[in-house]
Structure 1
């Protein structure tokens, strides 16, 4: 598995053996109070980088950014993490950041800084995000179908019936990789008592699972079930999670097994 990393003298590509279905966490340099995120190659023209996110109560809920390279060296960035100069330089080695995507109403924490760093990139988000955070620059609303900007390379489905979330799930067609944010979690090795407690409460500790929160926010169960069936009908073999280990193979069977009881 190739890892694109940054050094003082520039960028270098080094080989790293894949660890089953897990991508490495971003490295935390406490002394310098900075995070170094590495772009990890998942497939041809597809990368990911992870940021160690901590929320209230000492809960660690690391979040992952996915990057796809489209024809014309255009970069599509799903759920941006903090992008410092080093990570920006690594991205520039791959192509031009052209699209920034907030995949639901919660994965927007670093969208504003990313759009400020890449002012020429078009920003896409679910319709409700403009109402939730009017100050965010959003150029186009996401829907159940991909826009012309990435249609043919990346497909997408809107998970309907849960208006507080408005999650859009994506499929990178060339690599058959499903990209999800909060539809499913796969945190196999949670860190800290607070994290373990919250994940146990959510029903997502140490396994691939749907959070119990979906039961609370789903207002139209029929619409939600229909949307998830559309997601399961997509042709995928990998799954890139925003939270937890990447599922490197047999993802469709595993996802179907997890979601079937809710359908």
Structure 2
């Protein structure tokens, strides 16, 4: 395990090396620009990290590692997508990115000292207390909010990779028979459960992709009559099998008879087993995605993460998924583009998704903007 003190020395060495490469005129200008930007960004958030090499405690070490991982992934993606550049220059970007990801995987997230001893980072993202949660999510959290007739959302928060906390959202449908369907369930809350049961019995839990299933188990314990529906391939993933989560049936594009005739399913397929099941509610013209759109508001992100979030296109109003997910979906470009065209053909009035501010109006137009990376 690389201690944080050594990691700090590596950080500034890497930043200097990237800057030196950016000044190397033997490399193409486009590649030099990527390297220069990466070096400057790396140095800036390293100085703002609450660890031994930091100057000000703006972000925690866990957040620093998340930015390292994002930067490494961005270098790899740049190397893969800059097809007009020489192969050796592209290989350099990919190699640097993979090396950075390896350092992240081997690094400790627990500094022994730092300029702020973690207090600022805890206040920003390290706590799930009400004040901290309100700055990240969309309060009131874990409460039912009406959207349209028989359509509701529940805003909450979740822990993501490397200790980063993100806003997350569940969508609730009341079906024609009065039963409730919970799409991408968020963390369980007793008051929320009671609130839901007052408007209808919870009969269906939906895990719509390979990520949004981790809160299922506790909902299953309290909703014993509910059937759990899963995106194709989810049950085959090792983490899911080890978790003990029960998956009753796999979804396809044929809507289960138990859901009535008000919903439509569209599958978006990517590489590496990625599947996302989009759900359209005909009576309200509401489209529900999960991770195929992300629309984080910069004001709800730590300042050190805002630049990379904008660069990745996941902030409002761009609303795109992050680069790694775009790359995964592009493995099945033709099928995914066809699915995206079918989503737009539905002309949704609103589009709800898991992370960030959802599209409350002009849904089709805003979705077209978010999917431009796939549709061209």
Is the shorter-chain TM-score for this pair beyond 0.5, marking a shared fold?
Answer: yes
Map of 1:71-82 to 2, 5 A cutoff? 71-82=176-187
Q: Looking at CA atoms only, which structure, 1 or 2, has the larger radius of gyration?
A: 2
Please say if 1:209 is aligned against 2:209.
no
Q: 2:246 is matched with which residue? A: 137
Q: 1:92 is matched with which residue? A: 197
**Unpaired runs of at least 5, structure 2:** 1-127, 133-139
State the number of aligned residues.
234
Higher helix proportion (structure 1 or 2)? 2
**Unpaired runs of at least 5, structure 1:** 1-26
Task: Work out whether residues 28 and 36 of structure 1, in 8 Å CA contact, stay in contact via their aligned partners in 2.
Answer: no
Runs of 4+ in 1 over 4 A off after TM superposition: none
Please say if 1:223 is aligned against 2:324.
no
Q: 1:251 is matched with which residue? A: 363
Cα offset, 1:194, TM superposition: 5.7
Cα offset, 1:195, TM superposition: 4.5
Higher strand proportion (structure 1 or 2)? 1
Distance between the aligned counterparts of 1:81 and 1:91, measured in 2? 13
Q: 2:285 is matched with which residue? A: 176
Q: 1:167 is matched with which residue? A: 276
Distance between the aligned counterparts of 2:284 and 2:324, measured in 1? 30
Map of 1:36-51 to 2, 5 A cutoff? 36-51=141-156
Partner of 1:149, secondary structure, is helix
Greater shift in the superposed pair: 62-71 or 111-120: 111-120
Partner of 1:42, secondary structure, is strand
What is the root-mean-square deviation of aligned Cα atoms in Å? 2.2
Task: Work out whether residues 202 and 213 of structure 1, in 8 Å CA contact, stay in contact via their aligned partners in 2.
Answer: no
Q: 1:192 is matched with which residue? A: 302
1:112-159 Cα offsets, whole Å, 9 max, x none, are 111122111000011211111123211110112311122421111000
Task: Work out whether residues 141 and 154 of structure 2, in 8 Å CA contact, stay in contact via their aligned partners in 1.
Answer: no
User: Does the C-alpha gap of structure 1 residues 62 and 81 become closer, same or farther in structure 2, counting only changes over 3 Å?
Assistant: same
- TM-score, reference length from structure 2: 0.58
User: Does the C-alpha gap of structure 1 residues 161 and 82 become closer, same or farther in structure 2, counting only changes over 3 Å?
Assistant: closer
Task: Work out whether residues 336 and 374 of structure 2, in 8 Å CA contact, stay in contact via their aligned partners in 1.
Answer: no
